[in-house]
Chain A
Amino acid sequence: MTSAFYELTVSHFLILSAALFMIGVAGVLLRRNALIVMMSIELMLNAANISVVAFSRAYAGQPEAAFQGQAFALIVIAIAAAEAAVGLAIVVTVFRSRRHSDIDRLTLLKN
């Protein structure tokens, strides 16, 4: 038990990333505000980034694979920025026409 506490492995980072992902999933499932749902999506993207960078560290001994995880994480950050911009624009537009951003009440396309 103390060795698991003091001696870090790549598993520590992976389990932390899994926990962060779970919290993001809980936020998406439980919250009704569209902004909080988008923030939970950002949390999940960050969890994926942590695991990718941890694997990059674990495979640092292979020179052809050394930086691939970090390059991948950079691309994920760029995609997350684009997603946040478009998503927030949609939230603002929806709020402007409906005076709320409650995802449970946005059921115009249902049925």
Chain B
Amino acid sequence: MNTSILRGLVAMAVAVLLVAIFTEPSLALAAEQTVGRDVTTYTFHNSKGVAFLFWFLAAATIGGAIFVITRRNMVTAVMGMVGTFFAIAGLFLMLYASFLAVIQVLVYAGAIMVLFVFVIMILNRPESEPWAIHGLLGKGLAAIGLLYLFKRLASLLWQVKDTHALVLAKDQLGVEVILNHADPELMSRFGGNIRNLDVGSIKEICESGLAICRDYDFGSVQGVGYTLFSDYLLPFEAVSIVLLVAVVGAIAIARPAPEAVAEVSDETPTPEPS
């Protein structure tokens, strides 16, 4: 096919995709619902500092990930990935998953990244051509397609509502009060100012049994461990077997063969003329 015709077709596809992005009906719907929805019910009740921390960690996560896929030097890419993992550990801390944050730093930033660095040192081969797609049009098409996919996904995810629970942690009591918004009795009694409960109201709720009051341990080792060893016992044991198989398999694959391995050429071997 003629190159100019191909380029024209690609340009037309790009134009159609651009129009589709900016006239996306579900985006307008999502924006409307964002303006109209009751933000007091669904937010985390965070302070402004926590919000700034979230945006900082999000920027570190995305920036590190972009660093990974754009750098030509692979050690630099690994360092960007370590930054991404530390930022993700911070996000886990913001989501009350402290044990998981520690595991993230230990396993990912500590173990898996060291493994990657070892392999990079073993190979020690600079990349000749980092990108697979040649030409600006192909790259632009791929980027626009990815952005379109992301916009569709984001407009869907923005409508996710946290309607089931509102977690109120009060430092004065040292307990975590978990309110169920579907409970009609609780809503009729405290419905008006459910956001600004004082200590007396929280004690009243805890003693009446209308809400769950427990020690402030969401995300602790105890809670996660209890779930892991009761409900998730079978997957836990299966993971141990998977790790054993992976260790044995990795050693079996990477072990040098006893006799020298013949060099395999890239070309398909031509059959011997008979």
B-binding residues in A (CB < 8 A) = 3-16, 18-20, 22-27, 29-33, 35-36, 38-40, 42-43, 46, 49-50, 53-54, 56-63, 66-68, 70-75, 77-86, 88-93, 95-101, 104-105, 107-108
Contact = CB atoms under 8 A, between A and B. Distances in A.
Interface stretch (B6-14, B65-73, B196-204): B65-73
Contact of A67 (B51, B103, B227, B266): B227
21 contacts: A5-B55, A7-B39, A8-B54, A9-B44, A30-B133, A31-B69, A31-B132, A32-B132, A42-B108, A46-B108, A56-B95, A57-B96, A67-B219, A68-B227, A75-B235, A79-B239, A80-B112, A81-B107, A86-B249, A89-B251, A104-B132
B250 A60 contact: no
Which of A14, A74, A80, A92 has the most chain B CB within a 10 Å cutoff?
A74
Contacts, number: 266
Interface in B212-267: 212, 218-219, 223-224, 226-228, 231-232, 235-236, 239, 242-243, 245-247, 249-251, 253-254, 256, 261, 263-264, 266
Interface of B: 34, 39, 42-44, 46, 48, 50-51, 54-55, 58, 61-62, 65-66, 68-69, 74, 77-78, 81, 84-85, 88, 91-92, 95-97, 99-100, 103-104, 107-108, 111-112, 115-116, 119-120, 122-123, 125, 127, 129-133, 139, 142-143, 146, 149-150, 153-154, 157-160, 162, 164-167, 178-180, 212, 218-219, 223-224, 226-228, 231-232, 235-236, 239, 242-243, 245-247, 249-251, 253-254, 256, 261, 263-264, 266, 268
Is chain B's binding surface mostly helix, strand, loop or mixed?
helix
